[in-house]
Amino acid sequence: MIIALNNKCNFTKDEFLTYQDNLKKIKTFNELILFPSYTYLSLFSLSNIVLGSQNSSAYESGAHTGEISSSQLKSFNVKYSIVGHSERRQEQFETSAIVNTKIKLLLKESITPIMCIGETKEEYNLSKTKEVLKKEIEEGLKDITDADKDKIIIAYEPIWAIGTGLVPTNEEIFQMIDYIKEILPNNKVLYGGSANEKNIDSLKQISNIDGYLLGGISLKTPNLELFLQKLEN
């Protein structure tokens, strides 16, 4: 399974270095990917974990102050990049068209995009989840060849589950991942949203999950170790 560790906007430099030391000790059969803040990409020194970026630029290069391009990420050995996380869609007004552009640039550099999709609580209450997922997939993957499409990982993250401690039922998660796989039969699909060491015993019963995108728990290595232990037993 793929276990993606999304650190978001956390850790000062020293905190990151201590955290990285703790991650060094983790032993797992799963593929761990670390998504640190951009500033720590150059400090990454782990051999048991693969490097990812939390974001990438929609510009290829040039006069775009503050942007970091896919080719720059590639030069730091970044193998995966999160695209269209709901926090960026909401806080940075990242549209599906921007997500689409970023995905194309990442693929050009052979960086695997992890495209996040998911519904708000309101959309969930109105039973619009499938509609939202379909639209985000269609727009995010527009004009991408089938061969390239297959390389993309999808992260299903109900927005109302992120950082809230709320999680859909196993049946609901199964149904939505099943729906995503109906549209994209060859793609891996991760679940994200308040997954932790307490609910992994239950979540791991869901048969079609290919991995997890972890936010809060990614910051606490003892909890993360427990999560991995439970997942593997």
Instruction: Point out the residues that are catalytic.
Output: 85, 157
Residue 25 CB coordination number (10 Å)? 9
CA distance 217 to 186: 29
Q: Which residue is nearest to ligand PGA (CB)?
A: 215
Chosen residue from 113, 140, 168, 215 binding ligand PGA by CB under 6 A? 215
Size of the site for ligand PGA (CB under 6 A): 13
* Contact call for residue 162 and ligand PGA (CB under 6 A): yes
The nearer residue to ligand PGA, 28 or 72, going by C-beta atoms, is: 28
Q: Can you read off the two tokens belonging to residue 45?
A: 């020194």
CA distance 49 to 140: 27
CA distance 151 to 171: 27
219 Cα distance to chain centroid? 15
The nearer residue to ligand PGA, 16 or 212, going by C-beta atoms, is: 212
* Contact call for residue 194 and ligand PGA (CB under 6 A): yes
Torsion of the alpha carbons at 108, 109, 112 and 115, rounded to the nearest 10? -60
* Contact call for residue 166 and ligand PGA (CB under 6 A): no
* Contact call for residue 92 and ligand PGA (CB under 6 A): no
Which range touches ligand PGA (CB under 6 A), out of 46-54, 106-114, 129-137, 187-195?
A: 187-195
Which range touches ligand PGA (CB under 6 A), out of 56-64, 95-103, 171-179, 208-216?
A: 208-216
Residue 102-141 contact track with ligand PGA, rule CB under 6 A, x = bound: ----------------------------------------
Rounded to 10°, the helix 13-24/221-232 angle is: 30
Q: Can you read off the two tokens belonging to residue 146?
A: 């089938």
Chosen residue from 192, 197, 211, 221 binding ligand PGA by CB under 6 A? 192
Q: Can you read off the two tokens belonging to residue 213?
A: 């995108």
CA distance 65 to 143: 28
Beta bridge pairs of residue 154: 115, 189
Binding residues vs ligand PGA (CB under 6 A): 6, 157, 162-163, 192-195, 213-217
